[in-house]
Amino acid sequence: MKNATRRGFGVVAGVAVLALTATACSGDGSDDGSGDAADAGGQVTIKVSTFNNFGFGAPSGTRPGADLWKKYEAEHPNVKIEETVAASSDDARAAFNTAISTGTGAYDIQAVDVDWMPSIMAQPDAFVDLGSVAGTNDWLDWKKEQGTTPDGKVVGLGTDIGPEGICYRSDLFAAAGLPTDRADVAALLGGDSATWDTYFEVGQQYTDTTGKAWFDSSAAIFQGMVNQIQYSHVDADGNIIAGTNPDVKAAFDKVTAAALKGQSAGLQQWSDDFNAAFKSDKFATTLCPAWFVNNIRGNAGDDFKGWDIADVFPGGGGNWGGSFLVVPEQSKVKDEAAKLAAWITAPEQQAAVFAAASNFPSSPTAQADPTVAGKTDPFLNDAPVGTIFANRAKAVTVVPFKGAQYFDIQTKMADALNRVDVTKEQTPEQSFDQWLQDVKALS
Amino acid sequence: MTATPVAPDKPQQSPRPAHDATLERRLRARGRRGRLDVRLSPYLYISPFFLLFLVTGLFPLGFTAWVATRQWNTITGDGGVAVCGATCGTTDPSVLANFQWVLHQPAFWDALRNSFSIFLISTIPQIVAALVLAAILDANLKAKTFWRMGVLLPYVIAPSAAAIIFSQIFSDQSGLINTFLGWVGISPVPWHANTLASHIAIASIVNFRWTGYNTLIFLAAMQAIPRDVFEASVVDGAGRVRQFLSVTIPMLRPTLIFVIITSTIGGLQIFDEPQMFTQGTSGYGGPNRQFLTVSLYLWDLGFNHVSIGQPNLGRSAAVAWLLFLIVVVFAIVNFLLTRRIASAGGAHATKSRTKEVAR
Amino acid sequence: MSREVSVATLRQIGGNGVANAAARKRRLAVTSEGRRPGWVSYTILTVVILISVFPLYYAVSIASQATTDTQYGVPALRPGSGLFRNLSTAFGEIDFLTALGGTVLVSAVCAASTVLFSTLAGYSFAKLRFRGRGPLLFFVIGTMAIPTQLAVVPLYIMMARLHLFGTLWAVMIPGLVTAFGVFWMTQYLEGALPFELIEAARVDGASMIRTFWSVALPAARPAAAMLALFTFVAQWTNYYWPMLILGPNKNAMLTVAAAALKGARFTDYTLVMSGVVLTAFPLIVVFFFAGRQLVSGIMAGAVKG
């Protein structure tokens, strides 16, 4: 016993020593990194937080990237860039909120999803005005507007936008006797005058023929629908209109009705099952904002054959997602960070990102760039994604207003849809009522 | 406080006043400096602990109470006295408003239900399994250390890591278990959709980690049972099972009570497993709060879904205090219960221990 | 700080109580273990160990799949060909060395600090007489049942004010002492350290601190080693507090880094599992060397060696 404990003590002591040496070697990033951001030699470390896949970094595994950090570092030898990738927009938002609240933990550059950009715009004083560094960068008008306060302060520089097409499985379409050519599929869904009704009608045909689901997730479809409503959960004055808005209720009813008729694969967005299912034959279509192509490819695997994209979208065009870069005032290297944010959102870099990954430029100049306009995607059966997404972007007519409360209300809406679609424990009415309660609790 | 009744045996030597007296007499002869040394040293030795504990344990307790009465937002900070708002239909500031708000939330009550349910489902099978395993290990096995280490192995796996692994096993459509069930023609279990199923899944992650640990605790207790007791029961004609039920189990009572109490305190605070068990990135605890626990609710409210304009940290603090009250009530009930059970058998030791500690 | 600390440590009280019972047994000099177990026992144990090991095997198996190896609806039960490639990707993705260093540092500092301060206080409570000893000790024991979550909100605010958010300091500070540690060392030293020894040292002219150093500390060693081991494991496997307070600094510790890998949208499970395998691996290695001590620690508690 005595020997045994002495050995135990020895092990712990040994490990402790190991610890001290280990951290002595590698500790610098893990401790208080912001303090020594700019040291004597003019060296600057810029910490960047992104989520999902922005395509800025070196390509690794299933994450495509344009390797832009390296390029910037080569042009600016005194700069070192550290990017941290959060798993998702939600995770990034939670981490960012806690960081900004503590006054110390925030990154020098933070990527912000359009859905929670309004909560950033509600506290413009906490962020650097990027108007002066933006230079010759250009953005679509509505994109620029979303990142600019009413009095003209540029809080966020736009990265990508998320114009949506319809991604479909041509092999499953063929098996169901549906057309497989992407122009025919676009026509099947209604072409330029495509509506959600047509989408669900064709879906019903598919489901009745094959016994399989038409789309992946009700919450995903609803995202597409809600992004076409100018004022969904919050009105222009910031009042919560969730619950009284007939458009939202109509969209909810439509998608849940389709789900109850077997059109939904009943997958909860971003769940393990959801990710795994892009390799399966469980569903035939999914809404396809440009950035989502990265996800489909990542989930299905590079060599997976079958996915294709049609230049069509129900209910007019739609934009889902797309992000901004902001620089918190807390940053100790905010001038350098602002310069980097401006550089990486410049047309040239936006084009490079789309070429490598699938995040569609928010800059008209970049969109016109031949590498963008001419891009085809081998994963999507060599679809001319450059033209398709450009067309899809042009079709966007409604720029939804999202107040500061939008994100939370929409999150609860996803829960409500999942109660009907994924866990199947409530009727649409029960679930909608519970959503109204949830919204009330948000005040 | 809950630990008191099952505090370990008073060791053989208690501090004997006689010794202290002699010690002090001798030391007194050693002059002023020595005396000061003797008088101050005890305080000096306990002070690092108490100072640190004051900062990290005691002060936060009071501070939580303060935050719980305020409209405290995680980002913007203190916003005055709490207001319950639309939920209770009043905009009057009140120090109890956050508590009112929390008690009005169906989510809180669901969380409470889930915490208790998961705690029960994880504790009872775990204790039964640990008892049986301990009984098996108590025999004269070959390669004892191997078996003991084997059952303890999961203890070094972090619950968060275990939960990630198990989420691959319990996925609703693509998980290992449901795939197997599909192969043999059984309909899949909705692990995330069904409340009870989700609790069972989470409980099995907890059990994975802790069963072996409890087995060893029971094993040690079993080995402490005097063998003549067994011999007597054999003489009385008891079989192995009979012996286990009517001799071993009663003799393990103090250990059992202890394990139950600690499982209660831990079980009511369960967080890692349900957080990692959540599918997707929102709706922590399931879209209908199937496996939302109190701790998970506290975190989601205060740190995960943070919006400007909501007193979310204040409400989170109120949840913390309600959790504390529940644990205290539980501790008192446990204390009274164990006192009664303890007085039924082997009472003297426990009582003297309690007195000793309480002195 | 975490549930783990409280549970892991509190549970040992059971071990401790039991341990003393074991000592009683020894005194009674009853020989244990009469009968030889049959194959049923071995079979059950084998099954149990297989269940213990299976999740780990499954994790490694998933981690070893190359993207072309996996197919929907077929569980990855057979090891694939991509283990090292996946591990090395995960190694870079979670910045493994930094995370390992951070975890080891936090665990080691907390273990060392808990042991040192608990031994000091335990010695004082067990062997020295001073005003307020009883109530203070009772207070220490009373606080062991306080849910750690109660402190999360204020600690978070405190760390933010102290500008420690996102740093390892913030993770470490709440774990520097535990009420349980004091209780544990007090219990142990009461029994294990005879007054005669202290007295002898004092008569030899040793100061109080010297007495502590040369008499109490060596006597406390077995219990201190156990306390260190358990605190170490508890901190290593801790997730809640580090996750909360490290904020964006996700690669600073192993548990948090592994959890951050398991994200969504872009989840490559072979990569996630590689992360889990990597982060679990170091402690499993430690377990192979110190597992025996861990077992005897749980079982014997503070039985004098």
Of C225, C263, C267, the CB nearest to A5: C225
pLDDT value of residue C34: 52
Task: Map residue A181 onto helix, strand or coil.
Answer: coil
- The answer to whether residue C45 sits within a structural domain is no
Residue B269 touches chain A, beta carbons under 8 Å: no
**Does C10 sit within 8 Å of B265, measured CB to CB?**
yes
Kindly state the percentage of chain B with pLDDT values over 90.
43
Amino acid letter, B296: L
What is the domain extent for residue C161?
89-300
Helix axis angle, C3-28 relative to C217-236, nearest 10°? 140
Residue B190 touches chain A, beta carbons under 8 Å: yes
Q: Residue A349 phi/psi, 5° resolution? A: -70, -35
Question: What CATH code is carried by the domain that includes residue C126?
Answer: 1.10.3720.10
Those of residues 245-264 in A touching chain C at CB distance below 8 A are none
Mean pLDDT of all residues in B199-205: 96
Of the candidates B88, B112, B118, B66, the residue with the CA atom closest to the CA atom of residue B298? B112
- The answer to whether residue C224 sits within a structural domain is yes
pLDDT at C9 over 80: no
Residue pLDDT, tens place only, B297-328? 999 999 988 888 888 899 999 999 998 888 88
Question: What are the residues facing A307 on neighbouring strands?
Answer: A169
- The answer to whether residue C284 sits within a structural domain is yes
pLDDT value of residue B20: 56
- d(C-alpha A427, C-alpha A353), whole Å: 43
**Does B8 sit within 8 Å of C49, measured CB to CB?**
no
- The answer to whether residue C178 sits within a structural domain is yes
Residues C292 and C215 in one domain: yes
DSSP per-residue string spanning B132-161: HHHHHHTS--TTHHHHHHHHHGGGGS-HHH
**Does B217 sit within 8 Å of C299, measured CB to CB?**
yes
pLDDT value of residue A100: 83
Residues C173 and C286 in one domain: yes
- d(C-alpha B8, C-alpha B224), whole Å: 14
Regarding predicted confidence, which is higher, B339 or B104?
B104
DSSP per-residue string spanning A387-398: HHHHHHHHT---
Residue pLDDT, tens place only, A112-148? 999 999 989 988 999 999 999 988 899 999 999 999 9
B308: left (phi over 0), alpha (psi -120 to 50) or beta: beta
Residue B10 touches chain C, beta carbons under 8 Å: yes
Question: What are the residues facing A158 on neighbouring strands?
Answer: A324
pLDDT at C14 over 90: no
Mean pLDDT of all residues in C234-257: 89
Residues C100 and C165 in one domain: yes
**Does B176 sit within 8 Å of C32, measured CB to CB?**
no
DSSP per-residue string spanning B54-116: IIIIIHHHHHHHHHHTEEEETTTEEEEE-EEETTTTEEEE-TTHHHHHHHH-HHHHHHHHHHH
CA–chain centroid gap for A56, Å, is 14
* pTM score, whole prediction: 0.86
Residues C25 and C112 in one domain: no
pLDDT at A373 over 60: yes
pLDDT at C236 over 80: yes
Residues C16 and C103 in one domain: no
What is the token pair recorded at A198?
């047509």
pLDDT value of residue A312: 97
Residue A237 distance to chain C (closest CA, Å): 32
Residues C127 and C202 in one domain: yes
Residue C261 distance to chain A (closest CA, Å): 7
* Residue A413: CA count within 13 A, CB half-sphere: 25
C-alpha dist (Å) from residue A13 to A8, A285, C210: 9, 58, 22
Of the candidates C237, C243, C272, C258, the residue with the CA atom closest to the CA atom of residue C70? C272
Residue A63 touches chain C, beta carbons under 8 Å: yes
**Does B164 sit within 8 Å of C190, measured CB to CB?**
no
* Residue pair C16/C302 in contact by the 8 Å Cβ criterion: yes
Nearest CA in chain C to A60: C89
Residues C93 and C27 in one domain: no
**Does C303 sit within 8 Å of A30, measured CB to CB?**
no
- The answer to whether residue C81 sits within a structural domain is no
- The answer to whether residue C67 sits within a structural domain is no
Q: Residue A169 phi/psi, 5° resolution? A: -95, 105
Residue with tokens 């070959």, as numbered in its chain: B142
Regarding predicted confidence, which is higher, A147 or C35?
A147
pLDDT at C119 over 90: yes
DSSP per-residue string spanning C257-274: HHHHHS-SSS--HHHHHH
Residue C105 distance to chain B (closest CA, Å): 17
Regarding predicted confidence, which is higher, B64 or A37?
B64
pLDDT value of residue B262: 74
- The answer to whether residue C238 sits within a structural domain is yes
Of the candidates A394, A265, A247, the residue with the CA atom closest to the CA atom of residue A319? A394
Task: Map residue A1 onto helix, strand or coil.
Answer: coil
pLDDT at B157 over 90: yes
Show which subunits contact B, needing at least 3 CB pairs below 8 angstroms.
A, C
Kindly state the percentage of chain A with pLDDT values over 70.
90
Give the list of residues 6+ apart from residue C264 with CB closer than 8 angstroms, or none: A87, A88, A91, A270, A271, A275, B280, B281
Residues C13 and C147 in one domain: no
Residue A17 burial (C-beta neighbours within 10 Å; 0-12, 13-18, 19+): exposed
What Rg value do the Cα atoms of chain A yield, rounded? 24
Give the list of residues 6+ apart from residue B337 with CB closer than 8 angstroms, or none: none
Q: Provide the domain count of chain C.
A: 2
Highest mean pLDDT among A167-171, B35-39, C40-44: A167-171
What is the token pair recorded at A347?
């047309």
Task: Map residue A226 onto helix, strand or coil.
Answer: helix
Mean pLDDT of all residues in B122-136: 92
Residue pLDDT, tens place only, A272-287? 889 889 999 999 999 9
**Does A276 sit within 8 Å of C72, measured CB to CB?**
yes
Of B85, B281, B286, the CB nearest to A90: B281
Residues C121 and C199 in one domain: yes
* Residue pair B202/B123 in contact by the 8 Å Cβ criterion: no
C-alpha dist (Å) from residue C31 to A403, B133, B223, B224, C305: 75, 21, 10, 10, 19
Nearest CA in chain A to B104: A441
pLDDT at B57 over 90: no
What is the token pair recorded at B205?
């992650």
Residue with tokens 């299933």, as numbered in its chain: A62
Residues C102 and C243 in one domain: yes
**Does A9 sit within 8 Å of C225, measured CB to CB?**
yes
Nearest CA in chain C to A30: C252
**Does C259 sit within 8 Å of B150, measured CB to CB?**
no
Of A20, A27, A298, the CB nearest to C266: A298
pLDDT value of residue C207: 87
- The answer to whether residue C255 sits within a structural domain is yes
Lowest mean pLDDT among A201-210, A251-260, B241-250, B255-264: B255-264
* Residue pair B99/B322 in contact by the 8 Å Cβ criterion: yes
Tell me the longest C-alpha to C-alpha distance in chain C.
Answer: 77
**Does A404 sit within 8 Å of B303, measured CB to CB?**
no
Residue pLDDT, tens place only, A156-211? 999 999 999 999 999 999 999 999 999 999 999 999 999 999 999 999 999 999 99
Residues C25 and C142 in one domain: no
Regarding predicted confidence, which is higher, A407 or C266?
A407
Residue A6 touches chain C, beta carbons under 8 Å: yes
Residues C14 and C123 in one domain: no
Of B136, B161, B220, the CB nearest to C22: B220
Residue C46 distance to chain A (closest CA, Å): 26
Those of residues 14-43 in B touching chain C at CB distance below 8 A are 14-16, 19-20, 22-24, 26-27, 34, 37-39, 41-43
